Amino acid sequence: MTHLAGTGTGTGTDVPGSKAVSRGRAGVPAAVVPPPRQAAPALLVFAAVRLLGVVVLELWDSAGEKTAAHLLSARWDSVWYASIAEHGYGRTVRLEDGGVHSDLAFFPLLPGLERLVAALSPLSAAEAGLVISAVASLAAAWGLFAVGDLLHGRRAGVLLAALWAVVPVGIVQSMAYTESLFTAFAVWAVWALLTGRWVTAGALSACAGLTRPAGLAVAAAVAVTVVAAVVSGRERAGARLVAAVVLAPLGWLGYVGWVAVRTGDSLGYLETQEQWGNGFDGGRAFAAFVRDRLTGSAPLAGVALCAGLALLGWLCVLCVRMRLPLPLLVYGGAMVALALCGAGYFGSKPRLLLPAFPLLLPAAVALARTRPVVAAFTVGGAALGAALYGAVWLTGSGPP
């Protein structure tokens, strides 16, 4: 018995505090997928938090015309996904300022699944989106438990899933959005990397790349981990590793290539994103947005933004100081960079960070070391706060 690594591929040197796991061939942890019975506490806590959020949302706007189901499935991006599921690609909206919003900005896996579920059931595409998100969020919680349990034990696994559920924008996990589906693919891809399942990691990364543009973060984790394994001598550069690296970006490349063919422009997808105001500028526009809040009529909002960024930076530092395994560091770092360096939709930053689950590991490990009553009150309080915040958020500005 030895400890799971915090450097290299996640299968090398020891890390204090990591859970001891048995080894398979070439030093790879001989871990298996935790069965549902073992993951049940994490899944039950996660489901309870999500149910609380939906109930509070329904009661919050009980006097209004929009039900919780409508708020979760028929607004903002969910409308675009349902439209693609029902009619295929081709919808555009022309704005008053002359801009054009095209549905080519949305990746195809969620609407494809919505179309399939709607065809096999009496559900509409929007309703199918809610079912898919519910199932995917449970799959993501299962994967979070698996990662936490592998690295730091069962309590840490349960708490990692619970903390992902109680983040302030956790209500998005119950929406007909892609965050839950993407996180499910991402977390299981990371787990596959941690346990040496290279081809599985590549295939899951490809699925993530068909779900959101941020699939590149998963592909980066696969590629960097494979290279580190070969360079360190822990793995030989064989067919499995080559297949993982080749598979990892195929979903993203496939869709972007299809858009290029459809638009007749090799940069068609990037131009579509530009039309939506979603260009990648290294964070300059976001920095200007924060500066304007600090110097404008809402300085407190600017201070709150700075505090949030400071917290985000502190969590990144903690992840490095904990010596999290390389796949987690690369994936988490890439998700943070992609979220903060986009040129528009600044109100969406918290939602875009939702799949960055490695940032929650320091808190999960810390809570796992406290008394159960402390952890229970912490999660319970955060769950109530997230439910209230989600209700205010979705009945107000909501996620663009």
Which of 9, 51, 53, 48 has its CA nearest to residue 28?
9
Tell me how long the chain is.
400
Domain residues of the chain, as ranges? 2-91+101-394
Q: How far is CA 19 from CA 31, 58, 153, 217, 231, in A?
A: 12, 41, 6, 26, 25
Decide: pTM greater than 0.85: yes
Residue 9 · residue 326 · CB < 8 Å: yes
Backbone φ, ψ for residue 394 (5° rounding): -75, -25
Task: Report which residue type is found at 313.
Answer: G
Can you list the residues of the chain whose pLDDT is less than 50?
1-28
Whole-angstrom distance, CA of residue 6 vs CA of residue 76? 40
- What was the pLDDT predicted at 286? 83
Residue 9 · residue 225 · CB < 8 Å: yes
Task: Report which residue type is found at 326.
Answer: L
Which of 4, 3, 9 has its CA nearest to residue 327?
9
* Token pair listed for 11: 């299968």
- What was the pLDDT predicted at 188? 98
pLDDT in tens, 151-194: 999 999 999 999 999 999 999 999 999 999 999 999 999 999 99
Q: Can you give 31-99 as a three-state secondary structure string?
A: CCCCCHHHHHHHHHHHHHHHHHHHHHHHHHCCCCCCCHHHHHHCCCHHHHHHHHHHHCCCCEEECCCCC
Residue 336 · residue 319 · CB < 8 Å: no
- Cβ-in-10-Å burial (0-12, 13-18, 19+) of 32 comes to exposed
Whole-angstrom distance, CA of residue 49 vs CA of residue 140? 14
- What was the pLDDT predicted at 296? 82
Which of 278, 270, 291 has its CA nearest to residue 344?
278
CA 393, 396, 399, 400: dihedral to nearest 10 degrees? -170
- What was the pLDDT predicted at 133? 98
CA 47, 18, 36, 29 torsion: positive or negative?
positive
Whole-angstrom distance, CA of residue 161 vs CA of residue 12? 26
Q: How many CA atoms lie within 13 A of 176 on its CB side?
A: 31
